[in-house]
Amino acid sequence: MAKKVIKKHLVIGGAGFIGSHLSNALLAKGNKVIVIDSVPFKRAEIKAYTIHINDAKKVGRVFKKEKPDVVFHLAGAMSLRKSSQDSLFSKDFDFLYRTAIILDACKKYQVKKIVFVSSGGALYENANIIPTSEEYPVNPNSLYGIANLMMEKYIASYCTHNGIDFTIPRVSNAYGPRQWQTGFIPVAIIKMLKKESPVIYGSGKQTRDFVYIDDVVEALIILAQKSISRKATGNSEISRDKNSIYNIGSGTETSLNEVLMLVKDLLGVKIEVNYKSPSMLETQRSVLDIKKIKKAFGWYPKTNIKKGLLQTIEWYKENEGD
């Protein structure tokens, strides 16, 4: 008898860049999708709750009413540059409190699986092994990286001790349509559409692992369906932790200068780059080793950087000014 496919998914942070694409993709596959976000999410086929994640009572009511099978936790992310300026425990950085609320609700209402979307780039910053695998001993310096690592460890410990299946995908630099104007690629595209000079902090030779949003979403859905046998992985937190982490990236190293050259060629413009002093937090090389997820599930990114940029540019052209 075929294994029953889990059908009810709650996407926390579903109005964001990755979350909105994920919600739409889950719906397209015939799943029931519920969204929680502090920002309104409008799609008739998706039930959305506009509430703050740190409101434990309201979050609990959603879990009680909807009884999701799988929970995607995308509510912990924030801009690397913003978090570098904040206090780790400021009211805007209450990432552990929000995560605790989500985990307690998952336990109380018997959620089958939680998927916490973490950041590969922030955790592996300035790694001395390139490409960087899940086994690399992470030691982030930025507050954003530290926050992600703390959430990873908290989730691994909580879920292991409470018998909740969990997976932690570490996503590299995702890009694509509808991305907020905070990432390097959307900011560069918008500036060049306005005939303005894009900005690079540093020489532009620094590299990143840019992965297209459709590929990211496909991987997240695959990981949501997987189930790890506790007998196979052992009972220790360390064993469960390692076996539940998967890198999601392109596996290709691309410099910021290369990205801008491609964007300029695709737009047919000649615009000078505005080079500024590098940030103290700037990572020089970043690319994820994606062999683990490819070997386990056959997933690999299908959109190369040129195709992804073209599709992203077309979206911004159609939605310029929105």
Q: Which CATH superfamily is domain 8-318 in?
A: NAD(P)-binding Rossmann-like Domain (3.40.50.720)
**Average of pLDDT values for 3-11?**
76
More confident residue, 92 or 155: 155
Residue 78: per-residue pLDDT: 56
DSSP state of 159: H
Does residue 83 surpass a pLDDT of 60? no
Share of the chain above pLDDT 90, in %: 75
Count how many Cα atoms sit within 13 Å of the Cα of residue 4 in the half-sphere of its side chain: 5
The answer to whether residues 148 and 225 touch, using CB atoms and an 8 Å cutoff, is: no
Residue 229 contacts by C-beta under 8 Å, 6 or more apart in sequence?
A: none
> Left, alpha or beta for 276 (phi > 0: left; psi -120 to 50: alpha)?
beta
**Which tokens is 172 given?**
């590299």
| For residue 1, pLDDT beyond 70 | no
For the residues 158-168, what does the mean pLDDT come to? 95
Tokens of 50: 């506009």
> Residue 286 above 80 pLDDT?
yes
Residue 234, pLDDT score: 41
Going by C-alpha positions, the residue among 213, 209, 212, 189 that lies closest to residue 283 is: 209
What is the share, in percent, of the chain residues with pLDDT greater than 70? Answer: 87
Nearest to 290 by CA among 211, 213, 227, 233: 211
Selected residue with higher pLDDT from 231 and 319: 319
pLDDT tens sequence across 296-314: 999 999 999 999 999 999 9
pLDDT score, position 3: 55
Tell me what the pLDDT averaged over the chain comes to: 88
Task: Using the Cα atoms of residue 136, residue 137, residue 143 and residue 146 in order, give the sign of their dihedral.
Answer: positive
Mean pLDDT of 55-76: 96
Per-residue pLDDT at 231 exceeds 50? no
In this model, does residue 158 exceed pLDDT 50?
yes
Identify the band that residue 236 occupies on the pLDDT scale cut at 50, 70 and 90. Answer: very low
Helix axes 256-267, 305-318, angle to 10 degrees: 50
Comparing 149 with 93, the larger pLDDT belongs to 149
* Residues carrying an active site annotation: 144
The more confident residue out of 20 and 95 is 20
Taking the C-alpha atoms of 111, 144, 319 and 48 in order, what is their torsion angle to the nearest 10 degrees? Answer: 20
Burial class (CB within 10 angstroms; exposed 0-12, middle 13-18, buried 19+) of 235: exposed
pTM of the model: 0.91
Residue 262 sits at the vertex; the CA angle it makes with 257 and 264, to the nearest 5 degrees, is 95
The two three-digit tokens of residue 10, written as one number? 């709650």
- 4 pLDDT more than 60: no
Residue 73 contacts residue 98 (beta carbons within 8 Å): no
**141 pLDDT above the threshold of 90:** no
For the chain, give every domain's residue range.
8-318
| pLDDT per residue as tens digits for the range 38-53 | 999 988 899 999 999 9
Determine the 3-state secondary structure of 291 from DSSP.
helix
The string of pLDDT tens digits covering residues 199-220 is 999 999 999 999 999 999 999 9
CA distance linking residue 265 with residue 261, whole number of Å: 6
For residue 230 the two structure tokens come to 């506790």
Rounded Cα distance, 93 and 63, in Å? 23
